[in-house]
Structure 1
Amino acid sequence: MAEVQIRRYEDDDEEDVKDVFTLGMSEHVPSSCLHVLKLPRTQMLLVCVFCALLASSKSLLLPILAVTLLLAAGRQGVSCMFSSYIQTSLHKDLNNIRQTYLETPNACFWVAESHGQVVGTVACLPAEQVNGCLELKRMSVKPSHRRQGIAKALCLTVTDFARERGYTAVVLYTSIVQTGAQKLYERVGFKKVREFVIPELVARITSFTLIEYRLDLQQSEN
């Protein structure tokens, strides 16, 4: 983590923060598409369509074209799901970082800066669904600056902040396709609490699962 400084967000960081967030979320589209392809019902659908069209048309061209179109439609659906989430986030808390995180009690937003460039972000708010806990949010590090300990340092910044304010635990939510993030959180000491599918239609169809993690601060001190 040489020459990387973690500091509180400043208003001039807004566009850089949005860029880091957008890049971080967009890169999960390919892995999400692979997740969908591995679902048994997806594979069954593709095989059934291929075999039905092959039997009826007696030609390979039509079933291959149909399967290709289904794959393209599936990728577009996943892309739209991520694009919708990105736009919602940009027009919600990321458009009002100061108000949401810096002017709210027991909340904060930090950036990791390297050579004057924002390369990572993390934030926290009092958890809405878990009493007495702080929620870690907006964790992202640019691909060019990963594996340098920045993400771990950002996590620890939040846990230290929570401990100083008397919170008993920190919770966070990440997706099933973010395997790198899961490994990081588990190395820091977070434990998996539950998995659940978000209610959006595309998410239900694709079994896009979120994972809730929790770090009990008293236990982490032992």
Structure 2
Amino acid sequence: MTDLKSTTCPSVYLRAMASIQIRKYQDEDAEVVKELFTLGMSEHVPSSFTHVLKQPLAQMFLMVTFCALITSSKSFLLPVLAVTLILAAVRQMFNQYIETSLRKDLNDIGGTYLQNKNSCFWVAESDGRVVGTVGCLPAERAPGFLELKRMSVRRSHRGMGIAKALCRTVADFTRERGFPAVILYTSVVQTDAQKLYECMGYTKIREFVLPEVMAKILNFTLFEYRLDLQTDKERD
């Protein structure tokens, strides 16, 4: 079990009386981990709407749809409804991602993350309450690296250095097992996450858009970050 004070940058301010510990996931944590993941992902929906409305292709699509419907129907109600449905499709993208994640690795965290020596899942605990999560697995898209996944911190406990402590936990785990780097993926709308990872020494190495038509229209870009590590063998 790791004390936060030993895993956080010295400049991070720790709230008085807050006792934060990082420990390995246990089966009784399952529901709260799912809750934190769902809440964390849902927070990005408003910024996704803003991102969509700034995209030229999306603007053109909305304008053409709006003009076509108002011309044919001669009513503002139908075009407004159509635009609302298009924006609702953005929400559905997030819902689908959340539902898929809950059906896959988050449906059996112990089986997915705790059965292999090169994978693990941790929670951050404050006064007996789980307030943060992170996991890592061998990276599917980048063989030879470990991938940081499912980073989430409860809104009420942000700004305390918990996310940084979780990042360091993954980096230490990866280094101890002799892997040269940690990679992760985040999206264009997750600006706070980008700032966190860059603060922790991660470098953005790739940008790409998913092949789905809607993702291309919305220019929903994903970023790949990598943290290069010095292994114990290299230090020796």
Aligned: 1:29 with 2:41? no
Partner of 1:141: 153
Post-superposition Cα deviations, 1:79-130, rounded to whole Å, max 9, x if no partner, equal 1111111111111100111111001221000001111111110000011121
| Structure 1 residues without counterparts, runs of 5 or longer | none
Pairwise mapping of residues 47-86 of structure 1 onto structure 2 (< 5 A)? Answer: 47-50=63-66, 62=75, 64-86=76-98
Could you tell me how far apart the structure 2 residues matched to 1:102 and 1:56 are? 58
Task: Report the TM-score when normalising by structure 2.
Answer: 0.85
Work out whether residues 33 and 74 of structure 1, in 8 Å CA contact, stay in contact via their aligned partners in 2. Answer: no
AA matched with 1:124: C
| 2:19 paired with 1:9 | no
Alpha-carbon offset, residue 78 of structure 1: 1.0
**Greater percentage in helix:** 1
Unaligned 5+ segments in structure 2 are 1-13
Relative distance call for 1:213 and 1:54 in structure 2 (3 A) is same
Task: Return the match for 1:38 from 49, 54, 60.
Answer: 54
Classify 1:135/1:81 alpha carbon distance in 2 versus 1 (closer, same or farther; 3 Å). same
4+ aligned runs moved over 6 Å, structure 1: 53-57
Aligned residues: 217
Query: How far apart in 1 are the matches of 2:192 and 2:113?
Result: 26
On the 8 A contact 2:57/2:218 being kept in 1, the answer is: no
SS of equivalent residue, structure 1 residue 218: coil
Q: In structure 2, what is the equivalent of residue 184 of structure 1?
A: 196
Tell me what 1:130 maps to.
142
Are the equivalent residues in 1 in contact too, given 2:70–2:78 (CA < 8 A)?
no
Alpha-carbon distance change, 147 to 71 in structure 1, aligned in 2, over 3 angstroms: farther
Partner AA of 1:4 in structure 2: I
TM-score, L = length of structure 1 = 0.90
Cα distance change of structure 1 residues 41 and 66 upon mapping to structure 2, 3 Å threshold: farther
Name the CA shift for 1:51/1:92 in 2 (closer, same or farther; >3 Å). closer
Q: CA RMSD in A?
A: 2.1
Q: Give the Cα separation in 2 of the matches to 1:65 and 1:43.
A: 19
